[in-house]
Chain A
Amino acid sequence: MSFVPHSDADRRDMLARIGVSSIRELYSDIPGSLVRDGLPEMPDALSEWETVKAIQELADRNHSLICFAGAGQYDHFVPAAVDHLVRRSEFYTAYTPYQPEVSQGTLQVIYEFQTMVCELTGLDVANASMYDGPSAAAEAAVMARAVTRRDRVLAAASLHPHYRKVTETYLHGQGSELQTVPIDERGLVDRDALAEALGDDVACVIVQYPNFFGVIEELEPLAEIVAEAGALLVVAADPVALALLRPPGVCGADIVIAEGQPFGNPLSFGGPVVGLFAAKQKYVRKMPGRIVGATEDVEGRRGYVLTLQTREQQIRRDKATSNICTNQGLNALAATIHLALLGRHGLRKVAEVSTQNAHYARSRLEGIAGVELLYPDSPFVREFAIRTEENSRAILERGFSAGVLAGVSLSRFPALGAPDGLLLAFTEKRSREEIDRLVEVIAG
């Protein structure tokens, strides 16, 4: 199929047909003060070599730092095989490749992806992915409102501030609001406050696991309290930690979401990433997003299709739970390949080494003057927070000079009400030497 652009004669004809004198006139709703005539002064075009040189010079200004920053996205190792497969043009360039007659490979991969998400979360059904963790959390809240036909949404104070903000934005559009449930001195959700805040107008409670401060939340008692109030429990999880923790689905979660970036996707300065979304079977018809199902063709062979499409807005329109009509196909593919390479044991190993690194760091930080664990008596997996007497930004500056990204400053999130300090995250990439360097930086 060839590309045939419009000619000037075509444009004149079309404009005449609709009674408009110019294309500019079609944009008459835009205030004149905002319209520019032509492009601004642009420098001369560069040759390919000049362009490459210019971009290389910019890139050389990047610092490669040993990364101890987490807070939702983590510096895990992605084996070369992932990229090698993802960059195959059949995957890389295909746009919305879901017609089953010609896309069995893609559909099967997504089915495998969904299966892995179910295994990690301990729930019955997963979708083909969301944009990212925060929007998945927001969609979970919206779904809970649709399932329960209730209005209010509660979230733990220890939910990632970005997840909170995105959820608030989605709820604002629905005329609903997000209320916060405080945490106690151990960094866990305050159960009394939770019971107090619940009511028969609460659709769901969102809890992070481990929470923003790295603390492992006790899900089962929370699940009981929430279920008794007739609300749903939404759990936002660290998918790597799920290799070690009791699956939230087993603990009573109704919906589990996560940021899937640690699998197969580099940090990439924030994105693109991939949201994981799973729920109990009984809620499947209210789930957002694409779902791939397994079926049989006319010859009885196993095949895969997009299924339950009547949930989606292209059919259900304004009655759909969500208007999402996409997924993060390539990122989900990368995640699936990575997990397939790791296998169950490999993933557990990644989680174990990450955890061991975090606990080694903790032991090295004990006894450092001016540094205390924010929740010293609470269990954590691969991330924890320290409060620092010294300004955390100053510590980070010191780290830059030493080639270390010494965590995420808690002062970036004033709404948390936490003291100044650093959130430190550990992956299997970090070595003992690197952690010793981090400790030196923090100690000053």
Chain B
Amino acid sequence: MSEIPDGLKYTEEHEYVRDTDTENEFFVGVTDYAQGELGDVVFVELPAVGDTFGRMDVFGTIEAVKAVSDLFSPLTGEIVGINEALAEDPALVNSDPYGEGWMVRIRATDPSEIDGLLSAADYAEHVDA
């Protein structure tokens, strides 16, 4: 059973959104379910700070040994931070997807989009289905 923390929001593409201490800024990463499906993560390609993305635009890629998957932005906004630690240690995505394995910090331009994301319960149903 994969971990699906309650206080977070989710996408059907297995990204999560977590609050930061700044209003309208959020951490984005991939879920425990996603890292389990992918296997050992060997590389994460992240955008640059300042890049902007629309909802569900591809903002990067995540690589396991034999597969590459797109990363979809749950929200419309601007990248204000990226997790540099992943360059040295991409396995953080496997070991701590919701914590040290965060990928980007995004400043949402339309915070109402949060309501359109899946709750933990909805996401749990989605991955069970």
- Is B1's beta carbon under 8 Å from chain A? no
Q: How far is the CA of A309 from the CA of B42 in the complex (A)?
A: 12
**Chain A min CB distance to B93 (Å):** 15
Q: Does A80 contact B (CB under 8 A)?
A: no
Q: B residues within 8 A CB of A285?
A: 43, 45
Residues of chain B contacted by A319 (CB below 8 angstroms): 61, 68
For A282, give the chain B residue with the smallest CB separation: B87
Docked Cα-Cα span, A436 to B65, in Å, equals 59
Query: Is the pair B66, A309 in contact by a Cβ cutoff of 8 Å?
Result: yes
User: Across the A-B interface, how many residue pairs have beta carbons closer than 8 Å?
Assistant: 17
Q: List CB contacts (< 8 Å) of A263-321 with chain B.
A: 285, 309-310, 315-316, 319
Q: How large is the interface on B (under 10, 10 to 19, 20 to 34, 35 or more residues)?
A: 10 to 19
Are B67 and A315 neighbours in the complex by a CB distance under 8 Å? Answer: yes
The proximity string for A residues 149-190 relative to B, scoring 1 for CB distances below 8 Å and 0 otherwise, is 000000000000000000000000000000000000000000
Q: Using Cβ atoms and an 8 Å threshold, which residues of chain B touch A315?
A: 66-68
Question: B residues within 8 A CB of A310?
Answer: 42-43, 63-68
SS class of chain B's interface: helix, strand, loop or mixed?
A: strand
Q: How far, in Å, is B88 (CB) from chain A's closest CB?
A: 13
**Among candidates B42, B64, B68, residue contacting A316 with C-beta atoms closer than 8 Å:** B68
Please measure, in the bound complex, the distance between the C-alpha atom of A319 and the C-alpha atom of B45, giving whole angstroms.
Answer: 12
Q: List A contacts of B66 (CB < 8 A).
A: 309-310, 315
A316 to B43 alpha-carbon distance, docked (Å): 13
| A292 CA to B103 CA, complexed, in Å | 30
Measured in the bound complex, the distance between the Cα atoms of B67 and A316 in whole Å is 8
Give CA–CA (A315, B69) in the complex, Å: 10
Chain A interface extent, by class:
under 10
Interface residues of A, dominant DSSP: helix
Scoring A residues 43 to 67 as 1 if CB is less than 8 Å from chain B, else 0, what string do you get?
0000000000000000000000000
Name 17 A/B residue pairs within 8 A (Cβ), A-sorted. A285-B43, A285-B45, A309-B66, A310-B42, A310-B43, A310-B63, A310-B64, A310-B65, A310-B66, A310-B67, A310-B68, A315-B66, A315-B67, A315-B68, A316-B68, A319-B61, A319-B68
| Per-position 1/0 for A212-234, Cβ under 8 A of B | 00000000000000000000000
Query: What are the residues of chain A within 8 A of B42 when measuring CB–CB?
Result: 310
Which of chain B's residues 26-60 have a Cβ closer than 8 Å to chain A?
42-43, 45
A307's nearest neighbour on chain B, judged by CB, is B65
- A319, B43: Cα distance in complex, Å: 15
Q: Which residue of A lies closest to B70 (CB)?
A: A319
Complex CA–CA separation, A316 to B70 (angstroms): 10
For residue B45, which residue of chain A has the nearest CB?
Answer: A285
What 1/0 flags go to A312-333 for Cβ under 8 Å of B?
0001100100000000000000
Closest partner residue, chain A, to B87 (CB atom): A282
Smallest CB separation, A304 vs chain B (Å): 16
Nearest A residue (CB) for B61: A319
Q: How far is the CB of A291 from chain B (nearest CB, A)?
A: 14
**How many Å lie between the Cα of A315 and that of B61 in the bound state?**
13
Q: Closest approach, in angstroms, between the C-beta of B36 and any C-beta of chain A?
A: 19
CA distance A316 to B42 in the complex (A): 15
With the chains together, A319 CA to B67 CA distance in Å?
13
Chain B, 75-115, contact with A by CB distance < 8 Å: what is the 0/1 string?
Answer: 00000000000000000000000000000000000000000
The answer for the CA separation of A7 and B126 in the assembled complex, in Å, is 50
CA distance A285 to B63 in the complex (A): 11
Q: Which residues of A contact B67 (CB under 8 A)?
A: 310, 315
Residues of A contacting B64 in the complex (Cβ-Cβ under 8 angstroms) = 310
A contact residues around B65 at 8 Å (CB): 310
Query: CA–CA, A315 to B45, complex, Å?
Result: 15
Docked CA distance A309–B45 (Å): 15
Q: Which residues of A contact B68 (CB under 8 A)?
A: 310, 315-316, 319
Complex: A383 Cα to B68 Cα, angstroms: 46
Q: A310-B66, A315-B66, A315-B68 are in contact. List 5 more A-B contacts (CB 8 A).
A: A309-B66, A310-B42, A310-B43, A310-B68, A316-B68
Complex CA–CA separation, A319 to B60 (angstroms): 11
Distance, CA A309 to CA B64, complexed state (A): 10
Which residues of chain B are near A316, meaning CB under 8 Å?
Answer: 68
Contacts of A309 in B (CB 8 A): 66
- B65 CB to nearest A CB, Å: 7
